[in-house]
Amino acid sequence: MNSLHAKAPPRTAPAWLARWSGLTRYLSEDFLGGPRPWKLAWVVNAQKGGTGLFLGALMVYYGNFSTVAWIYLALHGGYGLVWLLKDLSFPDPSWQKRVTIAGGLMSFALVLGPYLLFGWILIAREQPISYPLPDGAWFALCILMCLLGCVIMIAADAQKYYTLRLQRGLITDGMFRYVRHPNYLGEMMIYGSFALLVWHWFPFLVLAWVWSAIFAVNMMQKEYSMSRYPEWAEYRARTRWLIPFVW
């Protein structure tokens, strides 16, 4: 991590980006106004932590105890427990803001709720899923993606959390050495593995929405903010957005 010195004003974000960010922030934090009884983290944690119970209930309801259902329960339900451990150890400050009741419900409706439908589609399906590869190979691919995604996300968030507690500035080493948004990369790998395991058009539609309308916008906003550091131009020139040496 480079030292903080001689900061310049950040580049101004385009008007459309500022308007879209303002809209999503309003919908998830301030929608309809009124009391702010809960933190956004509580809404997220309830969904993450309850995923395993939800999936287990679906398996019982539909009588589906197939191998793929158990694997999905382990991956998506296990990821929820990993998230809770992460939030307990190094909570993300951006999730600690209090939001309106409608704002929390809107966050669930736009993103968190559709994530739960992935498992419902898989477990409620009556016909066997026809994967592009043999089942064992496809399962191995999805498990590997989820494991690597969890490690990348956890390592990046931990590095950011503990580094910035000691010194504010631009983080350019560790998980951020080759890509500028490794935490988003990890999340995308995790949910990408879920979509591949479900192998249905709906999860890919949800991911296209979340990744383009929320993740990409957040990453662009972050880059405009980081441009205030004098090291930014050199760091941006030698790194990639998400995939090392590629993109």
pLDDT in tens, 1-28: 444 445 556 567 688 888 888 888 888 8
DSSP line for 127-189: SPP--SS-HHHHHHHHHHHHHHHHHHHHHHHHHHHHHHHH--S---SGGGSSBS-HHHHHHHH
- pLDDT on residue 8: 57
Per-residue pLDDT tens digits of the chain, which is 247 residues long: 444 445 556 567 688 888 888 888 888 889 999 999 989 999 999 999 999 999 999 999 999 999 999 999 999 999 999 999 999 999 988 889 899 999 989 988 988 999 999 999 999 998 889 999 999 999 999 999 999 999 999 999 999 999 988 888 899 999 999 999 999 999 999 999 999 999 999 999 999 999 999 999 999 888 888 888 888 889 899 999 888 878 6
| SS3 of residue 99 by DSSP | strand
Question: What Cα–Cα distance (Å) separates residue 172 from each residue in 2, 32, 35, 180?
Answer: 7, 40, 40, 8
Going from N- to C-terminal start, the domains of the chain cover 15-238
For residues 119 and 31, what is the distance between their CA atoms, to the nearest angstrom?
28
Q: What is the DSSP letter of 5?
A: -
Distances (CA, A) of 95 to 25, 149, 190: 12, 20, 20
The confidence score (pLDDT) of residue 9 equals 60
Q: Determine phi and psi for 99, rounding to 5 degrees.
A: -130, 165
Could you read off the pLDDT of 155-175 as tens digits, one per residue? 999 999 999 888 888 999 999
Residue indicated by tokens 């101004």: 12
Which residue shows structure tokens 């590095």? Answer: 159
Q: What is the pTM of this model?
A: 0.90
